[in-house]
Amino acid sequence: MVLAYSIIPGVMGPYCSSSLYWNDAYYYYVYGKESSGSRRLVEVFQVDCIGELEPMLSFRYPPPFRELFPEDYALLYSEAPAGK
């Protein structure tokens, strides 16, 4: 079994998790903190059809994450098509 870790430079634990309810769906997310104390988004999950957490692709993150993690949302998501 191979384990993969996503290490975001400058983001450190302890990592925290929380949930967000938006548009009739629950989203579960993990965040850490920078040395400056600001919260940084690490990963967003949804529950799949068999009840397990499945990581979401960043372009599918719902709009409320824009207010929760503006710096990360700006890096991960763009309303413009790729290459524009």
Least confident of 27-31, 66-70, 75-79: 75-79
Least confident of 9-13, 28-32, 75-79: 75-79
Distance CA 25, CA 73 (A): 19
Question: What's residue 74's pLDDT?
Answer: 74
Q: Which of 21, 24, 56 is nearest to 42 (CA)?
A: 56
Q: Please count the residues of the chain.
A: 84
Q: pLDDT tens for residues 35-44? A: 888 889 989 9
Instruction: Assess contact for 46 and 77: CB atoms under 8 A.
Output: no
pTM over the 0.85 mark: no
